[in-house]
Amino acid sequence: MAKVEKLKSGLYRTRVYLGMIDGKPIQRTITAPTRQELRSKAAMIKASYTPETSSLTVLRASEAFLESARATLSPSTIRGYAACFRALSAYPDFMATPLTELTKRDVQAVIDDMCLSGASAKTVRNRYGFLCSALRRYDIALPARLPARSRPDIQVPGDSVMRDIIEASRGTELHVPILLASIGGLRRGEICALSLDDIDGNVIHVHSDMVYSPDCQWVRKDTPKTSQSNRYVEMPPSVIDLIRKQGYVCRMDPQSLTKKHSRFLARNGFPAYRIHDYRHHMVSALHAAGVPDAYIMQRGGWSSDGVMKSVYRHTLADHDDKAVQATLAHFEELTETC
């Protein structure tokens, strides 16, 4: 093993010599938190190195990762990975690069070009994440400078607007989905995947999702978006009675639901909200009512309050400001009596 150096981050770094190809030395730079782990990592890389591995390209590594992912990941995730693969395939020289010759500069050049081509920060980050996952199988990590995350422009319907939307949807096939999203915090796919068997009393068991498969079909997935999304949501008895009376929850796939909902809003003069924006309303309303974050987190199916707050920080900001003003007013009154 070559010379070991300690980085400012506290990690240890070295280069592993693997052999020669066409007169060029093949080396791999690796890092680890301790010297012992660095030696173990170097030994594993040397043991797994073969001439076949040395000729592996970014293209072949990406194809292999995508193929292996099909067996374990959800259809929607696979569809996203396939889109990332197609985007990277637009750089044939990069994809033809052998893994042994791939550098951080190569990766950065592709990322920079994607940004200049108009891809959003989220899209570029997703493509880089796919690439990292494909390379990680061969113990290759190439850090890159990524575009800053942008805060999404999310609309939050107020209580009065939400009440008007619910009333206008009464008697239509959109009424129940709107109630489930605005009161129960269900996602679009979760609503479309629900059945009467998922309802026990006034409690809805959210444990499935409807996703768009790689072969362009809407399919019901037996597991929701995340493990935390598998949850029980209690609804007002009137909503449950309405569902049982009509005999079904929703007969639309997510795309049809979105289209019909958009036409409904336009026809009735409402802003162009998404079904998902009603989920924001639920968070905002419960937070304003003083409901503990732990309950809001459970009802919405977030993995942690940190995740929930990072997504809805802009939604909660107005209420936090009101709380600050109320606090200052209280203590201002208190000091005046002193």
Strand order across the 231-234 sheet: 199-200, 203-206, 231-234
pLDDT at 315: 59
Please report which confidence band the pLDDT of residue 208 belongs to, taking 50, 70 and 90 as the band edges: very high
pLDDT at 338: 45
What is the DSSP code (8-state) at residue 33?
S
Largest CA distance in the chain: 87
Average pLDDT over residues 200-225: 85
| Higher per-residue confidence, 232 vs 138 | 232
**Residue 155 above 50 pLDDT?**
yes
Structure tokens at 213: 């498969």
Average pLDDT over residues 274-286: 87
Beta bridge partners of 209: 221
The CATH number given to 56-149 is 1.10.150.130
Specify the amino acid at residue 76.
S
| Percent of the residues in the chain that have a pLDDT greater than 90, as a whole number | 46
Average pLDDT over residues 289-295: 82
pLDDT at 213: 76
> Are 126 and 80 contacting, i.e. CB atoms less than 8 angstroms apart?
yes
Q: pLDDT averaged over the chain?
A: 84
Average pLDDT over residues 245-250: 94
Per mean pLDDT, which range of 70-74, 82-86, 252-256, 293-297 is the poorest?
A: 70-74
- As assigned by CATH, the class of the 159-322 domain is mainly alpha
Average pLDDT over residues 326-337: 56
**Residue 74 above 90 pLDDT?**
no
Residue 159: name the closest of 268, 61, 288, 35 by CA.
288
pLDDT tens figures, 3-21: 888 888 888 888 877 666 5
**Residue 215 above 80 pLDDT?**
no
Please report which confidence band the pLDDT of residue 32 belongs to, taking 50, 70 and 90 as the band edges: confident
Rounded to whole angstroms, the Cα distance separating 136 from 150 reads 27
**Residue 238 above 60 pLDDT?**
yes
Helix (H, G, I), strand (E, B) or coil at 260: helix
Rounded to whole angstroms, the Cα distance separating 219 from 217 reads 6
Q: At what angle do helices 275-288 and 293-300 cross, to 10 degrees?
A: 160
**Residue 147 above 60 pLDDT?**
yes
Average pLDDT over residues 192-217: 89
**Residue 240 above 60 pLDDT?**
yes
Average pLDDT over residues 48-52: 61
> Are 251 and 218 contacting, i.e. CB atoms less than 8 angstroms apart?
no
